[in-house]
Amino acid sequence: MAANMHSPETQTKTLNGANIFLSALVAEQVDTIFGLPGGVILPIYDALPQYPSLRHILVRHEQGATHMAEGYARATGKPGVVLVTSGPGATNVVTGVADAYYDSVPLVVFTGNVATGMLGNDSFQEADIVGMTRSVTKHNIIVHRVEELAAAIKEAFYVARTGRPGPVLVDMPKDVLLATAEFDYEATPIDLPGYELNETFTDADLNALLQILGEAKQPMMLIGGGVVTSGSHEEVLAFAERFNLPVASSLMGLGGFPANHPLYQGFAGMHGHYWTNIAIANADVLLVVGNRLNERQTGKADRFAKHARIIHIDLDPTSLNKNVLSTLPIQGDIRNIMTRLLEQSSQMTLDAEIHASRQDWFRMIEGWKSRKETKASPDGFLTPQYAIERLFHWLPHNAFVTTEVGQHQMWTAQRFNLSRPRSFISSGGLGTMGFGFPAAIGIQTAFPEAMVLDIAGDGSFQMTLQELATARDYNLPVKVAIINNGYLGMVRQWQGRFFQGESETRMTSPDYIKLAEAYGCKGFVVEHPEQVDEVIRQAYAITDCPVIIDFRVQEKADVYPWVPAGGSNDTMLTEDTK
């Protein structure tokens, strides 16, 4: 037996840092790495061919790697993994890390750095990435000794996936990757002082919730992204059915409740459905589940659900009573809480008066639905709403939809009709333009047989379109539907309402058919309503390369309903009140 190897029974062996890194990923059951090589992490890439279970996706920009990993993570529920080099490689991931932080996405980002002896010397491609990302990671660390590397990786995955998920960054100096140490991952301890996963809810809290809900005549349930990330969608559905609760969703909660279910009342918030926001404003009890109630959701906070007793369930204690005071805050794992509520309410029934009032309540909501947004029908010119409606009409039920950020994102949320959790993936808290296309690539790597559609704006798509090469290299048939209005549309909309007019929002685009062809992809242009269905059918049928559909839509369509910043959700601007 070689002198530096221990017996196989101990599972302990001596490896250099690069092999410790890759072996740890295998032990964590990682199957995909999104990365771009560079000088200080070359030891990892030198060893990578020895690990055939690890698939590496070579990106064209490190920001694209983080968004791909986000898409992968949000579609699968497993941590997305990113590997980049030092200096600009590391700084290019900051936007994606921040995006994952605000949207609670489990990400583990590995960055290279200069050798430990060179740190602090303004060395070539040195960056204090740990310092830069401290405020937008759940945890980050620079590994100073190779003996610490395995523990740092194990702790990174544990923190990323437990509690409220989020990004973790591990910075690895070059000499750590070259040095050797004993490696036994299973025996490597996790030591995270202060990192606690507590639940504070009690049976009394749950009984109080059930009593309040049982007395409600006009209740609403408002779900958020926490329902999706916690995997509690089945329990939430069962609970809503048991109590006959109308259900609304935030942007991040879309897919957490079946869009085709009769209890589903649509999308709430700044550009939510009119009837959804009005129903919340008139509710007498509002049950909030996994939703942090930020200002895009609530509008003016002191007028949000002003007639309601608010019950707020969330895993993150800092989200409770932060923006909106609740009658009953309940902290804990959402799936655990909903399971316990189903158990405790198994013998409950609504009395006749409450049951009758619920029927009246549903009729009121139906009445508000008669006041809808712009009718998206073809009338000689192509509206963005119509294009998006038809994209959903032809979409398979098991598809995934991503978006970029802007007007198209809100139109998509308003017309969302899928009924599976993790089927809608968009940038919520940070609002990152350029997110949707690389996120779609990440999803397609995880689900190669699925239909993955990115509904994009022409401004957003041009921020990360270089990743067409990545999609083409790996034959990932992602569909990109560009709602091309020739503007930074949401910015133009705000300028027109609150400022003196358009300023630097007109935007040109390349010829997207030629662009697609240059990358070995397929491209279509749609300029008239009568072309829409046939082109969508053709595009969806292509399975061997990425596809771009350039919808040349009405230039100055605005998104309604609209709650301007500082406004109240019960006084929305609509198409007929603008």
Catalytic sites, residue numbers: 62, 124-125, 174, 490
Instruction: Determine the number of helices (DSSP H) and then strands (DSSP E) in the chain.
Output: 23, 20
Which residue has 């050797």 as its token pair? 180
342 and 366 Cβ atoms separated by less than 8 Å: no
Which residue has 């029934």 as its token pair? 349
Distance between the two ends of the chain, CA-based, in angstroms? 80
What contacts 24+ positions apart, CB below 8 Å, involve 274-278? Answer: 274/368, 274/371, 274/372, 274/373, 274/561, 274/572, 274/574, 275/365, 275/368, 275/369, 275/371, 276/248, 277/561, 277/563, 277/569, 277/570, 277/572, 278/368, 278/570
Hey, what amino acid is at 389? Answer: E
- DSSP bridge partners of 312: 288, 329
CA distance 507 to 509: 7
188 and 154 Cβ atoms separated by less than 8 Å: yes
CA distance 289 to 287: 6
CA distance 311 to 303: 16
What backbone torsions phi and psi does residue 563 show, to the nearest 5 degrees? -105, 100
- Token readout for 470 is 């990545």
Residues 6+ away with beta carbon under 8 Å from 234:
none
- Bridging pattern class, strands 479-484 and 452-457: parallel
Which residue has 């949207």 as its token pair? 103
Of the candidates 479, 465, 487, 481, the residue with the CA atom closest to the CA atom of residue 406:
487
- DSSP label at residue 301: G
- Token readout for 219 is 């209740």
537 and 513 Cβ atoms separated by less than 8 Å: no
Look at the alpha carbons of 230, 234, 237, 243 in this order and tell me if their dihedral is positive or negative.
negative
